[in-house]
Amino acid sequence: MRFARSTCFSWCFVLVAWATCASRAAAQGGYTKDVFPDLGLTLERARDYEQVPLQPDEEWSVLHYAEKVPKNPRERRTLRPELFVLWIDWVPDPAALPRTDSGVPGGPNETPTDKKEGRGGSNHDQPDEPAAPLPINTFVRYAEQRLKAYQLVEPEPQKARDGFQVHTVELQELEPSQPEVRGFAYVMEAQHTRTIVLLGFCARADLDKQSKIWRYMGDHLDVADPAAIDLAKLQRKYAHSELRGVDYRVRIRSKLVRGWQAEDTANFIVVYHTPDQPLVRKILNDLEILHDEYEKLFPPAAPIEAVSTVRICRDQGEYRLYGGMPRTAGYWNSATEELVLYDASVQVKGNRPQVDGTFIALYHEAFHQFIHYSTGELPPHSWFNEGTGDYFAGARVSGGKVTRIGPNPWRVRLIKDAVATGAAVPWKDLLRFEQVEYYDPARVSLCYAEGWSLIYFLRTAKIVKARPEWAAILPTYFETLKAAFAEELAALGPDRAKLDGPRFEAGKRARDRALDRAFASVDVAELENAWKDFVRELADD
């Protein structure tokens, strides 16, 4: 799976579902002091809360906490309470803004009438453009633009302190969910300087107890001038290293959350929050071995200088808090250039099972990470991209090398059933699916299984190796994709090639050119029939 995440809060937030909660005293275990010199913040944290890492591209939140998961299932809450610390620097509004009749600058929802290209409007020479959102310089402005599913209840002023005006405010969902979510904000605002906000969310039934915790933390929050991070100390760690990307590695290490550690390899920096050292060691080892395999089959368009981040979450709950989707064991986020997974293995009589979800996810997502750089940051068609990721998910690594690549155990049964019942997606459609079509919820599982089997067939079937035009499909597609994308970007010119819209269209043209050339001399119907015969003979895993 791969996806790009927006730079706002990653959560439309992910609240991990728990069972019904038994009553408990607020802030079990009391409070402990967390000091963040680089932020100038000293926080009295409830001991039953733990810190959660932030997304690398997070713009407003500087700290993220969540209540620890009780070991007793009967004590677990319906929704896991979360707390974000926001840092909002004040910046002036632009000088020229649309204004309301009262003279107050118009809000982000006060945009001109929609006049899309070719529709509406009386001034055809100079059509109106939607007004740019006002800068986020207060919590109210933040709520307007980032918390659109909520309304703010009447704020309650609190005692001013340390140069900050203070108030609290509750947040209610505009359309209540099940269970209903409530929010609470402790807002410290220094006019024309900055705003610090403790923003918590929990189930409505827990708001009374949780808001008392959040209020206490706000009342005891100490704000000072941020101290400079001692980057020199981290730089010295790499003083005699031949590793590339030292500045990037230093930046990643400077943002490590308490309890997280980092290890370096030639092409990766792995950050992890797990005591399972054998797991970490194997991931470090396998990443480099698989990287070599990727490079053999998919030589990059230009030397890859980027260092890749791999994040190993402690468990599924932490993975979900960090943005992992349900029913996944890992993901590659191209926007933040980070591969995220967790220990998804299931212990069987004290041993790791033969089918280890952690490494199936790792080998799949690490391919997405590699191909992102190898193609010049252009994702191939999804059948090629997801299918090849799933192909590598069948790798077996031992003795410092990939010993074999077998069937992906997550896909075999589904594609065999689809072929047997005639439910498979016709190749003429599947091959041209863009990501949104491939990820259609009604067929995404089938597309994944079919994409894997297509790649596995083209890479392993004897009948393919006996037909040169079939054996050439995958290398021709990849080499054409790289060359065509470079040509398309060059035709745009350096300025337009940086814009999302023209770059996206250039990528689509490059994908289509690669597909047309790869299958130019292929009878797709004949190839598809051979694939069906191959799938029917696959052994159930």
346 and 412 share one domain: yes
488 and 353 share one domain: yes
Give the integer Cα–Cα distance in Å for 79 and 203.
6
Query: Looking at the domain assignment, is residue 122 inside a domain?
Result: no
Give the pLDDT score at 132.
65
Q: Which amino acid is at 53?
A: P
39 and 187 share one domain: yes
Q: Identify the CA nearest to 178 among candidates 203, 159, 200, 148.
A: 203
Give the integer Cα–Cα distance in Å for 224 and 167.
19
264 and 382 share one domain: yes
Residues 6+ apart with CB under 8 A from 187: 139, 155, 166, 167, 168, 169, 195, 196, 197
CATH code for the domain of 156? 3.40.1000.10
- Among residues 204, 223, 242, the one where a domain terminates is 223
Query: Looking at the domain assignment, is residue 541 inside a domain?
Result: no
Query: Looking at the domain assignment, is residue 99 inside a domain?
Result: no
pLDDT tens, 502-513?
Answer: 989 999 999 999
CATH code for the domain of 495? 1.10.390
- Among residues 223, 255, 283, the one where a domain terminates is 223
pLDDT tens, 87-116?
Answer: 998 877 765 333 233 232 223 333 323 333
Name the domain count of the chain.
2
Give the pLDDT score at 537.
94
Give the pLDDT score at 120.
31
Token representation of residue 73: 């299932």
Residue with token string 């099940």:
178
Q: Which stretches of the chain drop beneath a pLDDT of 50?
A: 2-25, 96-129, 346-355
What is the four-CA torsion angle of 16, 17, 20, 24, rounded to 10 degrees?
Answer: 0
Give the integer Cα–Cα distance in Å for 447 and 463.
23
Residues 6+ apart with CB under 8 A from 245: 269, 305, 306, 307
Give the integer Cα–Cα distance in Å for 477 and 386.
15
Give the pLDDT score at 227.
78
Give the pLDDT score at 182.
96
212 and 317 share one domain: no
Between helices 444-460 and 382-392, what is the axis angle to 10°?
Answer: 70
What are the distances in angstroms from CA 520 to CA 101, 198, 204, 473, 480?
A: 63, 59, 60, 9, 12
366 and 421 share one domain: yes
205 and 334 share one domain: no
320 and 407 share one domain: yes
270 strand-pairing partners: 263, 310
Helical ranges in 238-334 per DSSP H? 246-254, 277-297, 316-321
Give the domain range for residue 385.
232-536
Task: Please tell me what DSSP assigns to residue 472.
Answer: T
Query: Looking at the domain assignment, is residue 113 inside a domain?
Result: no
176 and 237 share one domain: no
